[in-house]
Chains A and B, each alone.
Chain A
Amino acid sequence: MNPIQSFKPLALAAALCAAAIGAGCAGGDPVANRTEGKTPAIIGIPSDSVEKFGGQAGIDVWVDDLFYYILADNRINTIFTTHGHVQRQMALNKELENMVMGGPAHYSGASMSAAHAELGLTLTQFNAVVEDAYLACDAARTPYHVCNQLIAALAPFERVIVSR
């Protein structure tokens, strides 16, 4: 085989890489910084996701369960007890989760970058919240497949929430 040929995938990889970094810089990440609209996940979040979650009432239960697990999680709970405003965060998350899955709610809080910038969060801490999110789905008996619609909708926020 021609050695030049075998390097083609690498060259393509490098080009894609540069494109990805470029896209990330331009406009300061429009998806992860937005405060309105459904998350434009690839393949698409089904339009009945909010309904499958049990509507706003079901999302409210899920957020209550989420904060129960977060405050019981010794890996991250002190961040919330020292820097958080849990009542406000719960109310805002109830709006946000509805919004990102394509529901009608209006989110009235700060952008995810603004809300978390000062906290210096790590990916390890972010993943702890992801695990608590799945536990909250289990607690609310939200099927795994439905839970993944919310995960798809929240995942891009990682880019601005994790700053270390």
Chain B
Amino acid sequence: MKGSRGSKLPFKRVAAVLAMAASCVGGSAHAGWFDYNDGKVFLTEGVSMADGAAGGGAVPWAVIAGNETRDGINGNVHFTYVSLPNYSALIPGAAIGFFDRFELSAAYAILPTGSTFDTVGLVNSVISGSSTSSTIGGVEPWNTTIKMQIYGAKVRVFGEAIYDSDNWIPQVAVGGFYKINQNKALLETLGANKSKDFEAYVAATKIFFPISTAIDITARYTAANEIGLTGFGGPNGDSRKVRFEGSLAYLLAKNIAIGGEYQQHGNNLGGHSVNLGTSSLTSVTNTLAALGLNGASTALTQQHESSWADIFAAYAPAKNLSFTMAMLDFGNITFTPNQIGFYLSVAASF
């Protein structure tokens, strides 16, 4: 089995280096430079979370992506679609798992904001006196789309989520993301402090077979607003803090899990209105009033950012294909309240 199918893959040189690094951590030697392996048991790689790492839907877990065991390398490609009243998101991504020890991931979030920023865009156009498609403050008159690259790495530190059913020590991994939001001007308009930032996390995962339940608790050190889609930090500067998140999954069958998640969010932008050019919106209220846009000032004040919650069902019709469906309650996002919607994600591993 070893070194056979994977040898055609293009990333072999990188893989070789990382494989060496991973096998050092793992403390065992591996013969081939690319040890393809698909020995994990059903669903024990978790699914792919929104940032691209292995986990639940929003929470990174201590499990490593791909179907490999400690004997080799595997990976996945995944695609997530989110639909909310005022937003949608498309997130394609991929991850590689090395020896069930080390994981690298990349994802690209594309978020059409639909109607949300149209108001901001139109007000901008009116104030600037331009009725055509002028882009001010990173906001298009119609359908501003936010794009963000997410790079992740994760290493398993200790513990055994699956096999050590006789002790409480969870499987623990540490990881991080580096996120590059490409809509710098828009983020300035919203008052975010940064458009690129890192996040670091510690995740603890354990499966409790007697009650067919998996639990994960993760602490993330982050300044993200809406996972970075509306930037990092607020007008009062960078405030990276430890936030908690967790998932609970009940295993209904060997290939079906249902459960819920919670992810604590910060409130860096809540109460802050949009910044237009050099002036904040407040200074142009008169202009707006003259234009009959009296309510615009309140409509363009950002709401208190809500924490995220979801309930999900994950189904793996084959060992290397999983579908996750979720109902989301994301609460307030920027100007818009009641963001209740759904999530659909597909992941294929090799």
A residues sitting closer than 8 Å to B (CB atoms) are: 1, 6, 9-10, 13, 16-17, 20, 23, 31, 39-46, 122-125, 127-128, 130-131, 134, 144-145, 148-149, 151-153, 155-156, 158-159, 164
Contacts and interface: CB of A to CB of B under 8 A. Distances in A.
Contacts of A43: 208, 210-211
A31 B202 contact: no
A9 B158 contact: no
B253 A144 contact: yes
B252 interface: yes
Nearest to A42: B168
Contact of B158 (A17, A123, A144, A164): A17
Interface string B71-112: 110000000000000000000000000000000000000000
Interface stretch (B33-41, B224-232, B307-315): B33-41
Given A10-B174, A156-B165, A148 B158 contact: no
Given A6-B221, A128-B39, A144-B251, A42 B69 contact: no
B157 A17 contact: yes
Given A1-B242, A13-B202, A155 B252 contact: no
Interface of B: 28, 37, 39-42, 69-72, 157-159, 162-169, 172, 174, 200, 202, 208-212, 219, 221, 240-242, 251-254
Nearest 3 interchain pairs by C-beta: A124-B39, A152-B209, A17-B158
A158 B167 CA distance: 14
11 contacts: A1-B242, A13-B174, A43-B210, A122-B39, A124-B69, A127-B40, A131-B41, A144-B212, A148-B209, A159-B163, A164-B71
Given A17-B158, A39-B165, A39-B166, A123 B39 contact: yes
Given A10-B174, A123-B39, A124-B71, A31 B210 contact: no
A27 to B, nearest CB: 13
A16 B159 CA distance: 9
A127 B164 contact: no
B165 A42 contact: yes
A17 to B, nearest CB: 4
A13 B69 CA distance: 23
Nearest to A143: B253
B35 to A, nearest CB: 10
B293 to A, nearest CB: 40
A16 B202 CA distance: 14
A75 B22 CA distance: 25
Contacts of B242: 1, 6
B41 A155 contact: no
B215 to A, nearest CB: 11
A148 B210 contact: yes
B69 A122 contact: yes
